Structure 1
């Protein structure tokens, strides 16, 4: 190599002018062969002149490639003296030349000419001394160049093999630099560097820079390639799916199941965290095989999340007058409940948003608690949903089951929300007093959260596993009794007591609602069947015994069936007669026995005459009020106190308290202090098969015992109710309305009640109060003076010194 280079150098006349060919965007290095495409006229003239006069030419790169006729200051000072190996003229007028670099040279002087530049140059000699550091730099440069070649697909492997055989640092640096994909400035910098060590360091720097750039390019190219492959794969699969759907008869516009689910999730209005969870579950579903069991579980879960209302609401009808009209259309009476609903609507009208109330309707069966919930929903224009809690004993029925169980479902509350389809329905929880509990949990404890307005904004169902807002729901619960409902649950509800209907209320309900409903339901016309008031009252008193109106409706339905049968039998064989020609059937009191048979119940009437030892008490039952006849007889014996009539513990204790009161007042009654030692007292309350309990018969028991002991009759037209204490005080009782109704029905004229119950009289209808003389007392002494036909207390000495008579002495002498 060096020998060839020396021969070529010997052929160069370094002192003679050499033609100059300015190069654009390329740098020629010593020892490299490169093609040139020459198109400028001056450059072609310089090339031709050099080829004809020895084939030696000076090649130098111009600083600005866009300049067609560069000046001396527009050309780099260092260039390469080259030998022209071949010249080829092309058809378009350009010339292709093949040149080989001989050695570096510096332009010393420009010689202007008419056709091209000529220059005087001097050779730039490099130091040939090689040391260890130069060798190390050479090896590093060779290693980097090999990496560069591997990364750069433009450079052929033949070039790499050719350069690997060069062991001269100067030659390798020039050869490697000529193959660098870099800009002209960097190449010119390497060409102009004479010191071989510095040149190798510069080359290593440029190679490392190019390697980094190529690595980045390759990564980008690889990423783009993968994306292209994925896009092509997706396109291919999409086309296959279209072809399959076309074979199945589906149109191209049909959305996939996952797309539809995603759209439903976005449109559902879920809160942000719940929406994120739904999207995550959908992503899991997409990754699962269609027939996997877990996929079915996730799909059911997403269906429930989407079916539960998140933002849909019904607009409340806030017309107070219209709401009252609807409530009156559906139910007669129940003023307290209606007033509470109208209050809620009024507040809602003023504040626009309010937490839903938690109401509990407590009352006997058949008074319209469940139907009242439907009427409330209709009055407010809300959706209505109902489910029964009777017999429920599994806590999961309220909160739902975990998704891990096969066939798991949300709790009944979430199911009711799905059924309603809105966020603000009226949900009725029927028979809340009949909840049970066992090893599976206590449903009443699970209801504590749902029925608490402060907590139900984030009700957590075990199946959904997300917080659900129940604060806009109006919960209504129903119960027949309160003592079976846990106290914490009672505390969360606003309890509204619905007492039984009296006879006049039942009569109005039958006329307005029950009779028209049953007449229509049995295919009859209102004009063809009518019930008289006397007949309805007779049905109420003699064929039903209840606080509500269910049995009353059944008896009316029974009459309508018999009327319908008669009409059907008459029209049989004659063709269907016109409805207008059917004879009118009037159901009066006399016809009831024909339709309903013998009467089922006889009213407990007052005693025909007053008698000793017989007092009339009043009691409350689940079907309404009744009168109790308390009978007492005095027998010879040894201090026995006998109580019969299937009495409960509380009533037995009340009788004991009454006897203790009488013994403590024995002197006032004219009795010996030990009057009870030689007698037995037997107290009996008839209808012995019927259980009886409660303290409200206390004063009736005391009156009956005093009457039997003294032989003074109790007024037969007077009834009494009240709890008695050992000191004779009369304490308040419950169920006053029903008790007074029973007294009215039995023909009682006067009723004694506790003084504390006087405030309850405002709930009693006027038609009851006008038939009864109601006297409120606070002590038993007053009650005895009023109940017995004459005072039971002995006369005291007057100031004049006269003594009172003791009319009871003759009777008590026998007892003593």
Structure 2
């Protein structure tokens, strides 16, 4: 037995056309208050196993029959009295259900019409009559047959306010679900509004809503119309919430897709305009690659640059990460790396420069010349860092500028007064918004030389905060054993 199809059976002669897959169809309910065909059921009935549909009393529903036993059952019953028991099997995967595979409650039904389908299956139009309880199974070959007992649903009193409120709520929620669910046939709206019988309305909703088989079976087994109405309203409210949530998700996804398509369209237009103007992101990347070929930097730095440049090529220019990467690459290109100025270690020239710029300060000048003499003799810069101290205005900063002039080096000054963040020295990691290199790297970039004379001014005014201790970060700068290279967090490479 395969799945039930929703169908409008007001014209049985038109069924072959309706079942060709081109129409949405709705099961109908016999009209009137409890006007279900009253028949005297025999003590036993052939049991038609349903895979995934539940037949309700009063409903006229098409069922597609495909299994050999089911086809034989339908043909034999149709040739006799036309009565059978339609019962849902517990597991849809079972091909040949045994008595233990069947539910205990089903519906007695009469065959109205049988239609031969092109694929060899039968479409059987069943009219649900009474709810039945299946008793002892009498046979399993050539098909199931069992004793049955009629179960009459208890009808609430006419003045039962709760039942009337439940029926009204069922109608209202069902209409809401049909209106918001794209899978529900809209013809059901007309039927819902024109069913006056509470029993007919409840069974119609049970038959037509997209419930699970377990929910349908639970509704059929409910003891009486009042209990069925309560259970039905509970399921309907849940289904309404699910339908609203699905619609909300689908609308959100649709908006996202529309936005992505719009962004893609605009990006393509922007790319076309940039191509016409000759100002494309690809051209900028190529310019960077050409500039990198002219750089005199260490091999490992060149490898890092190529790796980061390849990452940029895979990025969309519209994303935020693109500009971050481009800024980083631009910094690498602007740093002087191995660009050094030639030192002039003529001590006489240095003495004249110091005397020209400063009067007096003989002890300080002698110490500076002594420092330069050691550098000249040793041929390296592994010598103590000079610390100049004194009140403001005595010439500490200008002495550093004079030394730079005497040596022929660039001069840079870093004011540390009020510095409280370690990242000001080491730089911020690129993962942070607004990240930038530290002051050491910025000064070297500004000087345009890798060996400038740098004055760390007002070093005594550094403060400690929850962002770290900047004085600890200066150790890497001031220690002669460490300051041959400097690691900046933003650059993420040894300089």
Shift of 1:92: 2.3
Which residues of 2 match residues 422-441 of structure 1 at below 5 A?
Answer: 425-426=452-453
Distance 2:261 2:477 in 1: 53
Consecutive unaligned residues of structure 2, counting only runs of 5 or more, are: 1-29, 290-303, 306-318, 353-364, 414-439, 465-472, 479-495
Q: Answer yes or no: is 1:328 the counterpart of 2:347.
A: yes
1:468-526 superposed Cα distances (whole Å, 9 cap, x missing partner): x999999xxxxxxxxxxxxxxxxxxxxxxxxxxxxxxxxxxxxxxxxxxxxxxxxxxxx
The CA deviation string for residues 708-738 of structure 1, in whole angstroms up to 9 with x for no partner, is xxxxxxxxxxxxxxxxxxxxxxxxxxxxxxx
Counterpart of 1:132 in structure 2 is: 161
Superposed, 1:520-531 pairs within 5 Å as none
Q: Cα gap change, 1:417/1:169 in structure 2, threshold over 3 Å: closer, same or farther? A: same
Deviation at 1:25, TM superposition (A): 1.4
Alpha carbons of structure 1 residues 242 and 316: separation in structure 2 relative to 1, 3 Å: closer
Deviation of 1:335 (Å): 4.1
Question: For the structure 1 residues 419 and 120, does the alpha-carbon distance in structure 2 shift closer, same or farther, using more than 3 Å as the test?
Answer: closer
**Distance between the aligned counterparts of 1:415 and 1:24, measured in 2?**
75
Q: C-alpha separation between the residues in 1 aligned to 2:132 and 2:459? A: 97
Aligned-residue RMSD, C-alpha: 4.6
SS at match of 1:154: coil
Q: What is aligned with 1:451?
A: 457
Instruction: Tell me the equivalent position of 1:21.
Output: 48
Shift of 1:24: 0.2
Q: Count residues with an aligned counterpart.
A: 361
CA 1:142 to 1:362, structure 2 compared with 1: closer, same or farther past 3 Å? closer
Q: Deviation of residue 191 (structure 1)?
A: 0.5
Larger mean Cα displacement after TM superposition, 73-82 or 170-179? 170-179
Question: What residue number does 2:194 align with?
Answer: 165
Q: Structure 1 pair 358/316, CA: closer, same or farther in 2 (3 Å)? A: farther
Counterpart-to-counterpart distance in 2, 1:120 and 1:312: 94
**In the TM superposition, what are the counterparts of 1:540-579 in structure 2 within 5 Å?**
none
CA 1:25 to 1:2, structure 2 compared with 1: closer, same or farther past 3 Å? closer
The aligned residue for residue 337 of structure 1 is: 368
Alpha-carbon offset, residue 40 of structure 1: 0.6
- Flag the structure with more relative contact order, 1 or 2, with Cα contacts below 8 A and sequence separation at least 6: 2
Q: Cα 1:417–1:111, aligned 2, differ >3 Å: closer, same or farther?
A: same
Cα drift, residue 313 of structure 1: 8.4
> What is the distance in 2 between the residues matched to 1:314 and 1:64?
74
Q: Map of 1:360-379 to 2, 5 A cutoff?
A: 372-376=403-407, 378=409
The residue matched to 2:282 in structure 1 has which SS?
Answer: coil
Q: TM-score, normalised by structure 2?
A: 0.61
Give the superposition deviation at 1:36: 1.4
> 1:384 maps to which residue?
411
Partners of 1:355 and 1:453 within 8 A in 2? no
Partner of 1:77: 104
Aligned to 2:382: 349
Superposition map of 1:35-46 within 5 A: 35-46=62-73
C-alpha spacing 1:373/1:145, structure 2 compared with 1 (3 Å): same
Q: Which residue of 1 aligns with 2:493?
A: none
Higher-Rg structure is: 1
CA distance in 2 between partners of 1:24 and 1:116 (Å): 15
1:57 paired residue number: 84
Q: How does 1:9-408 map to 2 (within 5 A)?
A: 9-10=38-39, 13-112=40-139, 114-130=141-157, 131-249=160-278, 253-254=282-283, 326-328=345-347, 330-331=349-350, 335-341=366-372, 349=382, 357=388, 372-376=403-407, 378=409, 383-384=410-411
Shift of 1:255: 5.5
Structure 1 residues 207, 370: closer, same or farther in 2, change over 3 A?
closer
Question: How far has the Cα of 1:71 moved from its partner?
Answer: 0.9
2-structure distance, mates of 1:227, 1:63: 41
Q: Could you state the TM-score of these two structures normalised by the residue count of structure 1?
A: 0.38
Tell me by how many angstroms 1:206 deviates.
Answer: 0.7
Cα deviation per residue 1:648-705 (whole Å; 9 max; x = unaligned)?
xxxxxxxxxxxxxxxxxxxxxxxxxxxxxxxxxxxxxxxxxxxxxxxxxxxxxxxxxx
Cα displacement string for residues 171-219 of structure 1 (whole angstroms, at most 9, x for unaligned residues): 2222112223222111100001122221111111111111121122111
Q: Alignment partner of 2:137: what SS?
A: strand
Q: Alignment partner of 1:8: what SS?
A: coil
Cα pair distance change 1:207/1:348, threshold 3 Å: farther
Change (3 A) 1:369 1:251: closer
The CA distance in 1 between the partners of 2:474 and 2:336, in whole Å, is 12
CA–CA distance in 1 between the matches of 2:88 and 2:460? 86
SS of equivalent to 2:164: helix
Secondary structure class of the residue paired with 2:81: coil
Deviation at 1:6, TM superposition (A): 4.7
Aligned positions of 1:678-693 closer than 5 A: none
How has the CA–CA distance of structure 1 residues 101 and 415 changed in structure 2, closer, same or farther, with 3 Å as cutoff?
Answer: closer
Q: CA deviation at 1:357?
A: 4.8
